[in-house]
Structure 1
Amino acid sequence: MVEVLVVGAGPVGTLLAAELVRRGVDVRLLERRARPGGGTRAIGVHAPVLAALEESGATERLLDAARRVPRGEARAGSRILGIVRFDHLSARFPFVATLPQAETEAVLGGLAPAPERGADVTVIRPRPTGVDVTIARPGRADEELRAPLVVLAGGWSARHLAFRADRIPTTTYRDRYLMSDVPVGDGADADIAVVNLAPSGVLESFPLPGSMRRMVAWDAAAVQAEDSASARVQRLKAALRARGEASVADAVVTATAFGVRRVCAPRLRHGRLLVIGDAAHEVSPIGGQGMNLGLLDAVGLAPLLTRWVHERAAPEEGLAAWERRRVRSAVRAGRLAAVNTVLGRPRGAAADLARRTFVRGMLAPPLGRGFAWAYAMGLDAGP
């Protein structure tokens, strides 16, 4: 009999399923997507996550596929404003490991049960003795079942299954960004993350395996209902050229556009239903901590659910402490992402000078080490 039903087979749901199976729990993993997702999404795995996954063997597998980024630089054009030294931190893994999210999913999927794809969960209703779930599949009658425990890890698009929209504080920012993964070769900056604070808006550049870089540029265009793929490519090329990256601009062939928002559910548990990852807390991708928050949610929850299953009683104190830690961590990550978002906006001459002065002071000793710690998820309260 299935002991825990996990909804969502992205990195967070897959990791939770893997951790539960490793502990002897019978898991059923459902996924709405018919095939693993691709595209340009989360890429960075931070030191606390790498440390938390080491026991399971996932860390070694991730690092085999990843690029290690030991430092980042804040720049204004060709001038360096400050350096974030991850390699100077007292951490088991003093770097950020970067790899496409699809590869992260594949690595974690090798440790988890195979997901049931094409299974769209449309209703979740917690009951005193279980959770009622409705599953829709193309060309088949809906499946109705009651699971002892359910974890919703289906990302932001599944949030409505657990929360009413008017019950969760949400901040939607006016900022929009363009993004592409571009082949650039291996130059002097091959292992350096770069944040260029240009007057026309931020340009972020992150190393990826295979001599690729993730380019993210602030987008001056307003949201358009019919924003074509070619228009996005041309805007990104123009943004890169304006910021001195003409050779990179020539290599851009695709681009996606996205907006940012901050969501943080005050509660992650409703009886036998638990919510983790972006379904519970969504932070701006500028800063790259969203996926890591969810992975740490899963690492901390797995042993508690295992106790619940094996002892047939909820570990109430442990669950309450876990929930407090994870909500606190999401709030902190959201605030840090909000600072990053504001810093990356276009500025006039006077405001741009003030920004550069602020960033220089922020990243200079002794404050610089503290900011490196914060950007490496040192503010996280733990799984």
Structure 2
Amino acid sequence: MPEVLVVGAGPVGLALSADLRARGVDVGVVERRGDTGGGTRAIGIHSPALSLLEACGATDGLRAEAVRIDRGEARADGRMLAEIRFDRVRARHPYVAALPQSDTMRVLAALAPPVRRGVTVTALQHDGDGVHARTSGPDGPAEIRAGVVVVASGWAGRDLVYRPGAVRTHHYPDRYVMADVMASGGPVARVHLERGGVVESFPLPGGRRRLVAWAGSDEVTDADAFLRDAVALRTGVEVDIADASTFGVRRAVAPALRRGRIVVVGDAGHEVSPIGGQGMNLGLLDALTLAPLLAPWVRRGDDAGLARWERDRLASARHAARLAFLNTVLGRAAGPAPHAVRTGALRALLRGPGGAVFTRAYAMRLDRAAPGT
């Protein structure tokens, strides 16, 4: 019987299991997907998560493969609104480490216990000082008993913990188109807030950039053509687009993250818009601040700190949801007058005292898990 069973082997589940393994905790990991998957969205790991990932030895491996983004630009109408300097934030890692999520998972998987893939958890049931997890997989139905179960399986795992309707979800009307392309631009993140909608451009290793463009509320029939035209019209940059994908966004924050010996982390407990890069980092901070509390809980029944952990993580999730809502609103198309007002207000905010607060917010420095908060 493992001391802790982690349900889900995405970045959050792998980070948690790697950290627990480094602390000597007997941890099992199950994942319903048979492989690690292909295209993913999350690319940036912020300073608080990088600091906490040092405990399991992942930070050096991630930094070795990532592009370090220490500066960002907010632009509109071909002009710079303001420069965002992550390298001026007082932090152990004053930058964003940008690398494809698949590479993040590979680094974490090398430090985590082996993952049992193709195993779906169908139900969780408390049993005294442990939890029974009923599963289905290649060998048929089975059961795993663990001292604590942590659900890190994304939104699809909510039904294991919450009653239907317990986690209210807001679906935004906005659609986005995304692709990774070969493009110049150096290690600088750029956000173009244009009349036709936002275009984000983030550096990736190997001379690539992640492009994301607002696409309104209608389905996009030709994602490649849409993104190519949107980038050209809104930023003046010509790029070749292939294999673009579309996605929508939603917002949800669960009322609780713990039920007995079942704990929820990451998107299973809260979802925010990926625009702005908060989602994966929010989940990583859930997991990496939970890890040191689990060993005393499963071994001695000492649950000190769990109530505060839950309060802090829910508060951080609500803050991230508000920031994600602001990102979504600012990224929509606007008429000439509203666009001028928006641009002027942002220029004044970012070039004044509010610029430092804005930078700290986007660097996850306002999260309850960040040192000094």
Q: Which category describes the TM-score, using the shorter chain as reference length?
A: over 0.9
Q: 1:320 Cα shift?
A: 0.2
| CA contact 1:325–1:381 (8 Å) conserved in 2 | yes
Give the aligned length: 370
Alignment of 1:1-383 (within 5 A): 1-138=1-138, 140-185=139-184, 189-220=185-216, 222-223=218-219, 231-248=222-239, 251-311=240-300, 313-315=301-303, 317-382=304-369
Inter-partner Cα distance in structure 1 for 2:236 and 2:158? 38
Structure 1 residue runs of 4 or more that deviate by more than 6 Å after TM superposition: none
Computed over aligned residues only, the root mean square deviation of the Cα atoms, in angstroms, reads 1.4
Describe the SS at the equivalent of 2:352: coil
Q: 1:246 Cα shift?
A: 4.2
Letter in 2 for 1:203: V
Answer with 99-108 or 118-127: which moved more.
Answer: 118-127
Q: 1:38 Cα shift?
A: 2.1
Inter-partner Cα distance in structure 2 for 1:30 and 1:40? 20
Q: 1:234 Cα shift?
A: 1.4
Q: Percent identity?
A: 51
| CA contact 1:38–1:101 (8 Å) conserved in 2 | no
Inter-partner Cα distance in structure 2 for 1:273 and 1:90? 36
Q: 1:59 Cα shift?
A: 0.8
Answer with 232-241 or 281-290: which moved more.
Answer: 232-241
Structure 1 residues 221 and 309: CA distance shift in structure 2, 3 A: closer
Q: 1:221 Cα shift?
A: 5.5
* Deviation sequence 1:288-313 (CA, Å, 0-9, x none): 011111111111111111111232x1
Inter-partner Cα distance in structure 2 for 1:21 and 1:194? 38
Inter-partner Cα distance in structure 2 for 1:343 and 1:45? 23
Letter in 1 for 2:46: H
| CA contact 2:32–2:117 (8 Å) conserved in 1 | yes
Letter in 1 for 2:205: P
Inter-partner Cα distance in structure 2 for 1:66 and 1:362? 30
| CA contact 1:150–1:274 (8 Å) conserved in 2 | yes
| CA contact 1:40–1:181 (8 Å) conserved in 2 | no
* Deviation sequence 1:132-159 (CA, Å, 0-9, x none): 2121114x32112332210000011212
TM-score w.r.t. length of structure 2: 0.96
Q: 1:202 Cα shift?
A: 0.5
Inter-partner Cα distance in structure 2 for 1:91 and 1:29? 32
* Deviation sequence 1:45-71 (CA, Å, 0-9, x none): 001111112233211111001000011
TM-score w.r.t. length of structure 1: 0.93
Inter-partner Cα distance in structure 1 for 2:13 and 2:237? 40
Q: 1:369 Cα shift?
A: 1.1
Describe the SS at the equivalent of 1:217: strand
**Which ranges of structure 2 fall in alignment gaps of 5 or more residues?**
none
| CA contact 1:123–1:133 (8 Å) conserved in 2 | yes
| CA contact 1:8–1:30 (8 Å) conserved in 2 | yes
Letter in 1 for 2:59: T
